[in-house]
Chain A
Amino acid sequence: MLPWLNQSLTWGNALVLFLWAVVFLFIVLGFVTYAIYFERKVIGWMQLRVGPNRVGPFGLLQTVADIFKLLIKEDTIPRKADRVLFIIAPALAYVPAFSVLAVLPYTQNLYFADLNVGLLYYVALSGISTVAIVLGGWASNNKYALLGGMRSAAQMISYEVPLVISVVGVILLSGSLNLRDIVAAQSGGWFWDWNFLPQFIGFAIFIIAAVSELNRTPFDLPEAESELVAGYHVEYSGFRFAFFMLSEYVYVYAIAALTTVLFLGGWHAPAPFLEFVPGIVWFLLKFAFIVFFLFWIRATLPRIRVDQLMGLGWKVLLPVSLLNVFLTAAYLELFIKN
């Protein structure tokens, strides 16, 4: 990707970059399709069920059938809903999800953009989805949706802060916001060089805040099915609903990739003697493990209440992440700089 990015922007180059983006879009859509399938399978197995197994061999075409069903549904817009906002909200939720994928590096040479402020770009853009959710909740002209939207806004803002602060430790250790440099700083050869051990506090907080950012159980209040009857997307059906779901799963992809890059050593092997296995395989293994972990806690844990969630975010995660920053800075000052 680097040679194309460094050339000047001619029509030919722009076309090539655009085509690569389309290819990547299809890869991401493929991921979403099979992530949904595997989520249903894994949760089914944990609940002594089988999960989808009818549509296609082993049920592999289940998500395709579901998406097709969503696409052919009637596009209902409630009469008193705010039309423009109602229509914009799903798209506005999806666009940042896809744009943040630009900065994620997969191996040494496989990446899209090499921004020096990659991490900052990621964090900044992912906040825009909050606006989209509030818009969706408001524009639906439905009290349940409004409650869901408000809850979601409160939740996402509360957890954005510890999320960012927890990676400050990583930034201090790596000395850069560039995601490729962060991975390079974890290249000791052994798994204990990866950031999750030196930065275990930051890692724990990042995982919790990330699950909350994704609106997944145990933090899935905005879509709390049993209380708010689907929360902010209760009035959405068909294609627009599919967009909200799509953006959620693309964020799952993004967070899993980001966790791998920041804390699990990206494409590095856990031991030097395993380095013959290509980096992309390690990246995918770690990525798959994080995604599985997210499904696992969804099947296991109950939902946390909204005021307890706020309490957890502001009173526990934020102070602990600040503590992490101080400890990292002190460690660097005392042991590394000398």
Chain B
Amino acid sequence: MIRTEELLLNVGPQHPSTHGVFRIIVKLDGEVITEATPVMGYLHRGTEKIAENLNFTQIIPYTDRMDYVSAMTNNYVLVHAVETMMGLEVPQRAEYLRLIVMEMQRVASHLVWWGTYLLDIGAMSPFLYAFRDREIIIDLFNELCGARLTYNYMRVGGVKWDAPQGWLDKVREFIPYMENKLEEYDRLVSGNEIFLARIRGIGQYDAATAIDYGLSGANLRCTGVDFDIRKAEPYSLYSQFEFDVPLGKNGDCYDRYRIRLEEIRQSLRILKQALASFPDGGETMGKVPRAIRPPAGEVYVRIESPRGEIGCHIVSKGKAEPYRLKFRRPSFVNLQILPKLLVGETMTNLITILGGIDIVVGEVDC
């Protein structure tokens, strides 16, 4: 009898496919995983501790760096939390600008996910196509707020910069271009036999598991649970716009893939409506006291980021700095299901499943 041993393999922290500095300790029996233990904290920067010494406007750049692929939604969750606590009104124009950048950010984030996911699966070219399109969005953001990745755009009570001349027209032009490209990408990739064989039926779980593990975003909706915070607990101006929430059936990687592509389409739909009803004039900042001091108490707000539910829990003692600031990060919570999904899978499927959850390690570690 040949005695075989279990192999202990370290995936990461430096690895092309772990989407950041993230490590999984994998026990292999041949090519089959018997146990997987994620180890994180390599990118822990102590944002929550630092925030206890800064006032809220100073914390906004730190939020950019948490989920750096989708910085606008991070900005928004913080300023929305403070505005909720203080009962501040945000002017219409500012709210529209916020919604537009958040939806554009959703498209950009999903494009990054799509490109890198396909790169992990082995197709090299869609990565470049996705980044070319994302480049257009990033250039628009650059024009708007001066930064390509970490925008520091929103402020408590409004936004920092108004849309420059012609910016809205450029966004209007981008929408049909992106819709066209999305059709092309669908034709290029989604019907490919090899690709479908790689992701159909992989990483499957049911709705009860998803709810129990607190998954959110596409990870929850792929099982058929209809819970999108933009529709279920609307914030900003989402209740005024019409859009569908794509749902999956089987809860496997293929459904998550399809949902995210469809979400890009729905985001473009929201953008079209928002641009059509964009107010002509208006302020970009509301009436905000010079020193932002939320009243004593606590608040927990949540919004739908491209990765899922991002939440901000602030405990304030009436000072300019928060007493405790906690971010509920979707990648962190979504990642919990990884050890469960990996048991019995092969190494190749590890990459497929990990990519399908769509994590950003900056958010996992905060």
Contact = CB atoms under 8 A, between A and B. Distances in A.
Contacts of B348: 221, 224, 227, 305-306
B11 to A, nearest CB: 9
Closest 9 CB pairs of A and B: A303-B122, A302-B123, A47-B128, A302-B122, A226-B17, A302-B121, A226-B120, A47-B125, A305-B348
A307 B197 CA distance: 11
Contacts of A307: 31, 346
B347 A147 contact: yes
10 contacts: A46-B125, A47-B124, A143-B9, A224-B122, A226-B122, A227-B348, A298-B124, A301-B122, A302-B118, A305-B348
B31 A300 contact: no
B329 to A, nearest CB: 25
Contacts of B122: 217-218, 220, 224, 226, 301-304
B16 interface: yes
B280 to A, nearest CB: 38
A55 to B, nearest CB: 21
B129 A300 contact: no
Interface string B127-152: 11100100000000000000000000
A218 B193 CA distance: 12
Contacts of A46: 125
A242 interface: no
Interface string A267-305: 000000000000000000000000000000011111111
B7 A305 contact: no
A48 interface: yes
Interface string B161-192: 00000000000000000000000000001001
Contacts of A302: 118, 121-123, 189, 192, 194-195, 198
A49 B125 CA distance: 10
Contacts of A144: 9
A217 B198 CA distance: 14
Contacts, number: 83
B287 interface: no
The B contact surface, by secondary structure, is: helix
Nearest to B188: A300
A229 B189 CA distance: 24
Contacts of B124: 43, 47, 217, 298-299
Contacts of B127: 47
Contacts of A298: 124
Given A226-B119, A307-B346, A218 B194 contact: yes
Contacts of B189: 302
Interface string A299-338: 1111111111000000000000000000000000000000
Contact of A300 (B7, B9, B16, B123): B123
A219 to B, nearest CB: 10
Given A302-B192, A303-B121, A305-B346, A225 B16 contact: yes
Contacts of B194: 218, 301-304
Q: Give the contact-size bracket for chain B.
A: 20 to 34
B15 interface: yes
A52 to B, nearest CB: 16
B267 interface: no
A122 B277 CA distance: 70
B197 A308 contact: yes
Contacts of B9: 143-144, 147
Contacts of B245: none
A124 to B, nearest CB: 29
A305 B128 contact: no
A8 B73 CA distance: 82
B341 interface: no
Contacts of B198: 302-305, 308
A303 B351 CA distance: 12
A304 B31 contact: no
Nearest to A151: B31
Given A300-B123, A302-B122, A49 B128 contact: yes
Q: Which of A48, A299, A304, A307 has the most CB of B within 10 A?
A: A304
Interface in A24-61: 43, 46-49
Interface in B33-72: none
Contact of B17 (A48, A217, A227, A308): A227
Nearest to B12: A229
B43 to A, nearest CB: 20
Interface string A140-154: 000110010001000
B349 interface: yes
A144 B125 CA distance: 25
B13 to A, nearest CB: 12
Interface in A212-252: 217-218, 220-221, 224-229
B121 A306 contact: no
Nearest to B355: A226
Nearest to A303: B122
A48 B349 contact: no
Given A224-B122, A227-B120, A306-B346, 4 more contacts: A220-B122, A221-B348, A227-B17, A304-B194
Identify the interface centre among B7, B124, B129, B349: most chain A CB within 10 Å of its CB.
B124
Given A306-B31, A306-B348, A300 B120 contact: no
